[in-house]
């Protein structure tokens, strides 16, 4: 069995996409686990509650154990109403002389465990349909009308808003770590010089790719920097794309140009952003700058490889 120290080292060398896979496939099933990484609040790129939001609303869709527990507790309310002969229902009837959930919620003799269940009665009542024409209880969040914990969780975890780009982002033909990178980029959570300064971490006050050295923001680095502009122009010419519209922010740049460049634009956009970020890091940490034609070759190679992915 590997030691705790070796396990921690293994976690640290995983990419963000690898850590996401680890959390979703293993650690979400372990209640009260510390979620695999020792991470202080100030060092997190995105807070944990944001990561647990469904992908359709801009999160990573990691299981929220608190909400999952609530969905499992609500199941007992469903069983009380639709399975009168179950052991659970007969036990409740013998203890409290009723199975009516509304009456039970007002009972002062309920144990602490039962009180926890009846905290969710308002949500339960708002989620069922019962009419004179159809006296059978129906759960409104499933097509079958039968309660499932998954359907309850999806409603409990839904913050209400919808991300304008989530469907396209997670269906991109690219590596998982690149999707995580793009997710961070679209939320302005990459550690650009601006974001480093916001956290009071050591940072330069300019862009490593510009002679004028303006503050390195995400919009500047990936759109308005002379290096980025040159790269996008070369990309547009190589792939024979329509003239690109350089909007003020990154999500709008992606989605606006997608309307004129077609579905192939998604992969080209991903490969270009990924190559710009790698070039930026290479200049900062290795003090090495690639010629523009080599950066373009890398973008083209990546795009062709990702195009071929099933």
Q: Say whether both 228 and 274 belong to one domain.
A: yes
What pLDDT is attached to residue 5? Answer: 46
Q: Say whether both 71 and 135 belong to one domain.
A: yes
- Residue 202 included in any domain: yes
What pLDDT is attached to residue 27? Answer: 56
Q: Say whether both 172 and 303 belong to one domain.
A: yes
Q: Say whether both 173 and 226 belong to one domain.
A: yes
Domain with 100, as residue range(s), is: 66-157
What string of pLDDT tens digits covers the 310 residues of the chain?
444 444 444 556 678 887 777 776 665 554 444 444 555 556 788 888 888 988 888 899 888 989 999 999 999 899 888 888 888 888 888 887 888 888 888 877 777 778 888 889 999 989 988 765 556 788 999 999 899 999 999 999 988 888 888 888 998 989 899 999 999 999 999 999 999 999 888 888 788 888 777 889 999 999 999 999 999 999 999 999 999 998 878 999 999 999 898 889 999 999 999 999 999 999 999 999 999 999 999 999 999 999 888 5
CA 147, CA 50: separation in Å to the nearest integer? 27
- Residue 189 included in any domain: yes
As to burial, measured by CB atoms within 10 angstroms (0-12 exposed, 13-18 middle, 19+ buried), residue 263 is: exposed
What pLDDT is attached to residue 34? Answer: 41
Q: Say whether both 99 and 173 belong to one domain.
A: no
What pLDDT is attached to residue 3? Answer: 47
Q: How many CB atoms lie within 10 A of CB 137?
A: 14
What pLDDT is attached to residue 105? Answer: 80
What pLDDT is attached to residue 214? Answer: 83
Record the pTM. Answer: 0.79
- Residue 50 included in any domain: no
φ/ψ region of 160 (left if φ > 0, alpha if ψ in -120 to 50, else beta) reads left
- Residue 58 included in any domain: no
What pLDDT is attached to residue 294? Answer: 97
Which residue, 135, 157, 179, sits at the end of a domain?
157
What pLDDT is attached to residue 29? Answer: 53
Domain count, the chain: 3
- Residue 234 included in any domain: yes
Which residue, 157, 189, 205, sits at the end of a domain?
157
Q: Say whether both 90 and 27 belong to one domain.
A: no
Q: Say whether both 234 and 184 belong to one domain.
A: yes
């Amino acid at each position: 069995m590997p030691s705790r120290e070796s396990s921690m080292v293994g976690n640290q060398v995983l990419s963000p996409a690898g850590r996401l896979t680890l959390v979703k496939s293993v650690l979400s099933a372990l209640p009260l686990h510390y979620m695999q990484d020792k991470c202080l609040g100030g060092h997190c790129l995105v807070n944990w509650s944001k990561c647990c939001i469904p992908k359709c609303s801009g999160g990573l869709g990691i299981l929220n154990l608190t909400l999952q527990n609530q969905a499992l507790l609500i199941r007992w309310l469903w069983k009380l109403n639709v399975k009168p002969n179950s052991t659970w229902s007969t036990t409740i009837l013998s203890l409290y002389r009723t199975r009516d959930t509304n009456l039970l919620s007002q009972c002062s003799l309920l144990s602490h465990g039962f009180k926890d269940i009846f905290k969710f009665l308002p949500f339960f009542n708002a989620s069922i349909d019962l009419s004179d024409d159809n006296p059978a209880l129906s759960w409104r969040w499933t097509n079958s009308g039968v309660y499932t914990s998954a359907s309850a969780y999806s409603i409990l975890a839904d913050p209400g808003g919808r991300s304008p780009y989530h469907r396209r982002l997670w269906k991109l033909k690219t590596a998982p770590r690149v999707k995580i990178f793009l997710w961070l980029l679209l939320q302005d959570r990459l550690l650009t010089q601006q974001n480093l300064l916001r956290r009071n971490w050591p940072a330069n006050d300019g862009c490593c790719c510009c002679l004028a050295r303006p503050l390195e923001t995400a919009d500047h680095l990936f759109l308005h920097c002379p290096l980025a502009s040159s790269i996008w122009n070369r990309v547009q010419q190589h792939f024979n794309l329509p003239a690109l519209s350089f909007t003020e922010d990154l999500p709008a740049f992606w989605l606006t140009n997608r309307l004129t460049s077609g579905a192939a634009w998604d992969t080209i956009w991903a490969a270009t952003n990924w190559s710009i970020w790698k070039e930026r890091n290479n200049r900062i940490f290795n003090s090495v700058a690639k010629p523009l034609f080599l950066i373009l070759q890398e973008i083209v190679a990546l795009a062709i490889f990702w195009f071929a992915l099933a």
